Amino acid sequence: CDIRSLGYEEKRKLLATIEKAVAFVTTMIFQDGSSQLNSEQVLTSSVKGVVVLVKNQTDYPCLPGYSSTDCTWDAANEDDKLIYLKTEWSSLWEQEQQAHKKFTWQVLFQMLRCKVPIICFNAKDFLRTLLQVYGNEISWKQVADSVVLDPRIAAWLINPSDTVPSFECLIQKYFEKPFSVETVNTDTGPLRNTSYQNLGVNLEKLYNVMMDLAHDLQVQGLWKLFCTLELPLIKILAVMETHKIHVNKQELKKTSEILGLRLKELEQEAHQVAGERFLLTSSHQLREVLFEKLKLHTLCEKVHRTEIQQLVSTSEVVLNKLQDLHPLPKIILEYRQVHKMKSTYVDGLRMCMRKGFISSTWNQTGTATGRLSAKHPNIQGISKHPIRITKKQYIKGKEEEIVTISPRTLFVSKKGYTFLAADFSHIELRILADLSSEPELLKLFQEPETTDIFSSLASQWKGIPSEQVKHADREQAKRIVYSVVYGAGKERLADCLGTTPLQASQFIESFMQKYKKINEFTKKTIEQCRNKGYVVSIMGRKRPLANINAQDYKLRTQAERQAVNFVVQGSAADLCKMAMVEIFTSVVVSPNLTARLIAQLHDELLFEVEDSQIQEFS
């Protein structure tokens, strides 16, 4: 039924039905007639209403695998109700429209507080929309108390390599024959037309698939992880997406101008030292200048080549090698750093700004390791490390000015609030130490005087006093540890260290000889993966790796590196998510605290906290 056609008594009965419901299966309808079940649904299209299948029985009217294309929703379950709630109103002057809006809100609010599952494909978007539309009537803490199930998250948890991009993709795995998701016309009276019957059938299918996935999660030992980490995160991310992070527009504009000026100066310098004009952002033109004209590759040891065409590379590693031979490579390195800062962090922010603020979109199913990702803007990619820009002076006798630019300082907290960051110190290295039980590594974390973990590690590994550790030694130790953690091979490590693959291989071997337990841990992890076909994080997250027993050497060694990487990085993702859930829950149950989690930057959580609550929240 369309609730706009209900009388007083019918509305009362509907609320009573909702009170007794065992589940709600829901999808949003957009202005263009599509729903969340349409893969081609345009994200910019505004929400017009919500369709809800109110489940009053727990049996399976349409079993998973049921393929009859003649099934209509009306025949599925007489006790269930399909209702349409209009959420967009052209004008609220009319008393009747105000009454409809109020009743729509009553129904939605009752669904949220019923403590029965709200099943929705892309549930985060549904909750975020409720907060945006009804922000005056509901607090984010009330949304945090609801029970939501998202089959997309469940399917991804079972197979993290599959991001389950659409409802169609999900259903095709459970229903043999193809089906259609039609657009609907929400202005044609009661919900008895064919489009709505099809929508009812698809919501029924969504319910059945969720029940099936719940069973699979329990069988595979993933149910606890699903309930304790991933489901609470749906609500956390929905709340995060409604929070506005304010940006200093004047500072942003000024920074963009400084960086733009520096790019022009670097371009002129590059043309001058090269003796010709060329496009600095073109690898082809840069290669011609560096290697065909200046022939710099002939002046040093073997230079890295591109994998497919075997051309001399213009990568950062190669330019670092060449920078002492000619001024151009150093200019190009600075140009790239400044260009990335300007295009990605500064101008990129400006493009994502709305009325002086940004709000990232968070993706829970974007990685196989369980880490979150963000876009519009990718706030995780905004560097915390400042860069120093030489601001040239054109007045005679005036010295050049060094300007420090830190992208994070472009964000400003609201008046009366402060940004508070909390991060895990070397979380992946600590996990590696714990899982491997490597005594030397554990000792580093237990010594209170250890201030620089990688210098201490280099001292331990090379058997030299801490004060004799050089920057190169520290970098080698750091890169080797992370080559184990991130699954980089000897070629990748050689690139990072600026050495040959043979030298990199010797470094890894010497490191593994010193830290034998790490070597044992990697071998044991790979062996377990070979036997089971998957690896597991500390909280039970799984990643199947089909190529772990492949005949092809390249595919097999890649799967071996992915196995070790997943156990360490997947475990780090688990701990970061656990911290998000624990802190978020503490704020929700607190009668006083109002702190908002505004970003997750991998191993760091960023909050906006009222000045008067900083001590209590900390």
221 token code pair? 């030992």
Mean pLDDT of 575-589: 96
Kindly indicate the confidence band of residue 45, based on its pLDDT and cuts at 50, 70 and 90.
low
Least confident range from 6-10, 213-217, 231-235, 324-328: namely: 6-10
- Bond into 407 cis (ω within 30): no
614 token code pair? 């900083």
pLDDT of residue 322: 87
Least confident range from 5-14, 35-44, 297-306, 535-544: namely: 35-44
Report helix, strand or coil for 66: coil
List of residues 6+ apart from 139 with CB closer than 8 A:
none
Q: What is the mean pLDDT of the chain?
A: 85
Q: Could you read off the pLDDT of 60-78 as tens digits, one per residue? A: 433 333 333 333 344 356 6
Least confident range from 124-128, 184-188, 612-616: namely: 184-188
The domains of the chain, with CATH numbers, are 3-242 (3.30.420.10), 246-412 (1.20.1060.10), 430-568 (1.10.150.20)
Q: Could you read off the pLDDT of 378-407 as tens digits, one per residue? A: 998 887 778 888 766 655 556 677 888 888
What percent of the chain has a predicted confidence (pLDDT) above 90? 49
Q: How far, in Å, are 72, 242, 583, 602, 606 from residue 592 at the CA level?
A: 50, 20, 14, 28, 19
pLDDT of residue 33: 81
pLDDT of residue 313: 82
pLDDT: is 467 or 160 the higher one? 160
Q: Could you read off the pLDDT of 289-320 as tens digits, one per residue? A: 999 999 888 877 667 666 666 677 888 878 88
What distance in Å separates the CA atoms of residue 111 and residue 196, rounded to the nearest whole number? 21
Tell me, what DSSP letter sits at residue 301? S
